[in-house]
Amino acid sequence: MSPAVPASDAPDAASRPALSAPARPAPARAAAAAAFVAAAAVRPVIVADLPAAALSADSLRACGAQLAPVADACLIGDHGDARVQFPPSYRARLLTDAGVPVWAGINCRDRNRVAIEGEIAACVDAGVTGLHCVTGDHPALGHRADAVGVFELDSVDVVGLARDRGALVSVAHAPAAPPVSRRTSRLLAKADAGAEVVFVDHCGGPAAVGDAVAELRAAGFGGLALACVPVVTSAATATVVASFAGGRLPAGYLEEIMAADDPHAAGTRAATKLAGRLLDLPGVDGINLSGGAQPGHEPAAARATAEIARRIVGTRARTS
């Protein structure tokens, strides 16, 4: 799924004890992370959300196999319809062993600092391309509202822990999420902690994304900026994208696709066109093909995402 936008940007950092992990030199960067950074230096990169059934190793492998040939990495975050899922490190190991480049999400909702450190270490050991560090949505927003949120740490804390392990670290930037005035300073705090990649969340059309990236660059962020492109090719994908992106999509994007005689063809064209416009923006280094699917529709969503990635690569090759 797409990079998670926290329901609340914290617990209060001042109320938490300081992290006690001893300072140490960051280990050498993993081969997959180094390859990603090298690719981003010479061409736009593509990170694709990996739609897969929760708690299914077979689904993870099958959907990953669709995307591995065309994406620089596959993002595995919270499952759209279920909070109970395999731990990030187990999914990372399943996929990397199958030859799928993984960008693993780590949130603070379900684990304390000890468990988070263990997940980070295991993900790095599995050879992930990157780690996406978010505070995470409150449990009340998922199907397990009975679960108690942990939130001992927040995303800034996790960035530091992941960076200490030598991971290539990404974070979310949600320009349209309140409080809007704090978003850039919050992103810069994450960068100061060690984040080198930012996923710019859905915030309207290319003009709004361009303004958000320009503001980050002007404020001194020198890392990679990846702009989110919504993948909507069916009712099953539209429902999921609407659930987390809502009114932050480009005007009419969702409606025009779903009103088309062939939503798959219309959605593929729309995502390819939007990706091209975003990649032409100054300061944008790549895209995140962002989406998911309702249960049972994950294989079709993975195929559609892979088709869009191929079209983007082909279009850029023809125009370069």
pLDDT digits (tens, 9 = 90+) for 230-241: 999 999 999 999
Q: Do 203 and 229 meet the contact criterion of CB atoms below 8 Å apart?
A: no
- Model confidence at 19, pLDDT cuts 50, 70, 90, reads very low
pLDDT tens digits, one per residue of 33-71: 999 999 999 999 999 999 999 899 999 999 999 999 999
Q: Which residue has the higher pLDDT, 76 or 138?
A: 76
| Tokens 């996790």 belong to residue | 158
Fold of 30-319: TIM Barrel (3.20.20)
Find all residues with CB under 8 Å of 113, minimum gap 6, and list them.
19, 152, 153, 157, 161
pLDDT tens digits, one per residue of 277-288: 999 999 999 999
pLDDT tens digits, one per residue of 293-312: 999 999 999 999 999 999 99
- Model confidence at 139, pLDDT cuts 50, 70, 90, reads confident
Category of 238 on φ-ψ map: left (φ > 0), alpha (ψ -120 to 50) or beta: alpha
What does the angle CA 176 – CA 150 – CA 197 come to, to the nearest 5 degrees?
45
Please report, for the chain, the start and end positions of each structural domain, with discontinuous segments joined by +.
30-319
